[in-house]
Structure 1
Amino acid sequence: MRSTPGRLSAADRRDLTSAARIREAAILRFARDGFDASLRTIAADAGVSGALIVHHFGSKKDLRRACDEWVLGQIRDSKRTTLATGDSGPWLAQLGRAEQYAPLAVYVARTFQAGGESAAEFFDHLVDDVVDYLAEGERNGLIRPSRDNRARARLLTGMSVGSMLLQMTLHPELLRGGDFTGFFRHLTETVTAPALELYSEGLLTSRKLLDDYLMYVPDPPAAAGGGESAAPPS
């Protein structure tokens, strides 16, 4: 029986529920074991058959793509919640719900550990989103304008991803047994305060280095190591 447009049948609702359950199980399993995890293992985690995964997602590659899209959407929404108004309340509430975001952080780190085209595409999507919500922050007067919005977004994204990968490398014990919450809390306690200090107060006491560099870029001196040293301007 075909469902009425705009209204899902009970079977359709069950279908959507099972797809979401598979996606959730896949994100957790990929975060725990990396992307070599099998569809059979994911099916067992979700309490479904492998055939049902194929029915909903087609292949493991397509399932991973669906997981990527959902994780990116969750990150995007959480960032925009803070930058939309500048109210720290929602952001602090998110910190208090580390268990909700911890698997997503580990999933992101696993994506870059795996490398390849999927990691490059994921990074580009992250940067696109950072450009968008920083622009929103600029419109709201919360973020300073940049002379190169995308370059700034790439740097911020790389710093964030690099921090996660470094903590995973230095503290693998925090991920044993799938303890994503312990890892995420350690990560936030390690980087949040110094990052906010850097973003809020800056690092250098003057902009001299920036101004000198911007003057240097259009007309740099001859490269060192070519047998001749660049003479200072007279």
Structure 2
Amino acid sequence: MRSALDDDLTARARIRDAAIARFAADGFRVGLRTIAADADVSPGLVMHHFGSKEGLRRACDEHVLAQIHEARAEALVSNDPSSSILRLAADGHYAWLATYLLRSLQAGGELARTFVADLVVETRDNLEAGVAAGSVQPSRDPDARAEMLTSMSLGYLLLAYSLEPEPPTDLASWILGLNMRGTLPGLEIFTEGLFTDRRFLDAYLAQTPARTTQEDR
């Protein structure tokens, strides 16, 4: 037998899920009345459960982060941002997360900060494992390198997404195509480098001797 509390919790989850879908589709400027209509409830019930639009957004973010952690536990998410979002987009159970996550990264906020911070830590750990294995060059500042590589990958993805006239209807195929276009130039830069000599690096190190390593001496 269902109780009033069960119905209340079901309504709250229905509103939250409707908000996630609407935020993913239209961004975070959408009004509460639209979300209430999607959830087939009154705007007053939305306020009853979440207090404000900001409260509803926090609840959505918390739920999405929990789902991302679940996806990580199921090995669907890797340390590379584009690959992470592609895997989410390609999986039927998690596809909605990918679009909401991209919207959140565009808008900023706690979800974006938490997701990016987690990726930076994982990127650094993987790079250091590569250094130990001899497949990755060591860095004078491993933390800064991990942060820059994460930002570069996310920036490439978000700029392309933001410049689309309309949000891609098949996000997984769109990300896959973007990754295919970026693979060769990315591998060239990371494998062969960009500059033909060390003059820019040496000039910088001469001005910041604290970053000079034993290998530079």
The alignment's TM-score, normalised by the length of structure 2, stands at 0.65
Change (3 A) 1:220 1:210: farther
Q: Are 1:109 and 1:165, in contact at CA under 8 Å, matched by a contact in 2?
A: no
Distance 2:151 2:69 in 1: 13
Q: Which range moved further: 55-64 or 105-114?
A: 105-114
Structure 1 runs not aligned, ≥5 long: 1-8, 85-90, 222-234
Other-structure match for 2:115: 126
The alpha-carbon distance between structure 1 residues 132 and 206, as it changes in their structure 2 partners (threshold 3 A), is: closer
Q: Give the Cα separation in 2 of the matches to 1:13 and 1:200.
A: 53
TM-aligned CA deviation for residue 35 of structure 1: 1.7
Residue 39 (1) aligns with residue 32 (2) = yes
Where 1:35 maps in the other structure, the secondary structure is: coil
Q: How big is the alpha-carbon RMSD for the aligned residues of Structure 1 and Structure 2?
A: 4.1
Aligned letter for 1:185?
A: A
Task: Supply the distance in 1 between the matched residues of 2:152 and 2:192 (Cα, whole angstroms).
Answer: 24
- 1:146-185 correspondence runs (5 A): 147-149=141-143, 151-172=145-166, 174-175=167-168, 179=169, 182=170, 184-185=171-172
How many angstroms apart in 2 are the aligned matches of 1:17 and 1:136?
40
Taking the TM superposition and a 5 Å limit, the aligned residue runs for 1:59-138 are 59-79=52-72, 81-82=75-76, 94=88, 96-97=90-91, 100-101=94-95, 103-114=96-107, 119=108, 121-134=110-123, 137=126
Cα offset for 1:59?
0.5
* Structure 2 Cα separation of the partners of residues 99 and 210 of structure 1: 48
CA pair 20-195 structure 1, distance change in 2 beyond 3 A: farther
| 1:205 corresponds to 2:199 | no
The residue aligned with 2:174 is 187
Cα separation, 2, equivalents of 1:36 and 1:216 = 47
2:115 partner amino acid: L
Indicate the residue corresponding to 2:81 in structure 1. Answer: none
Residue type of the partner of 1:68?
A: D
- Contact 1:25–1:46 (CA under 8 A) maintained in structure 2: yes
Separation in 2, partners of 1:122, 1:210: 41
Show the counterpart of 2:212: none
Q: State the secondary structure of the residue aligned to 1:67.
A: helix
TM-score (norm 1): 0.61
Deviations 1:109-154 (A, max 9, x none): 333544xxxx154442222111343366569879967642354235
After superposition, the Cα gap between the structure-2 partners of 1:217 and 1:14, relative to the gap in structure 1 and judged at 3 Å, is farther
Count how many residue pairs are aligned between Structure 1 and Structure 2. 196
Distance 1:209 1:69, change over 3 A: farther
1:47 positional shift: 1.6
Of 120-129 and 17-26, more deviation after overlay is shown by 120-129
Give distance in 2, aligned partners of 1:61 and 1:96.
Answer: 29
Contact map agreement 1:39 1:60 (CA 8 A) in 2: yes
Change (3 A) 1:26 1:209: farther
Gaps of 5+ in 2: 79-84, 209-217
Secondary structure class of the residue paired with 2:113: helix
Find the structure with the greater CA-based Rg: 1
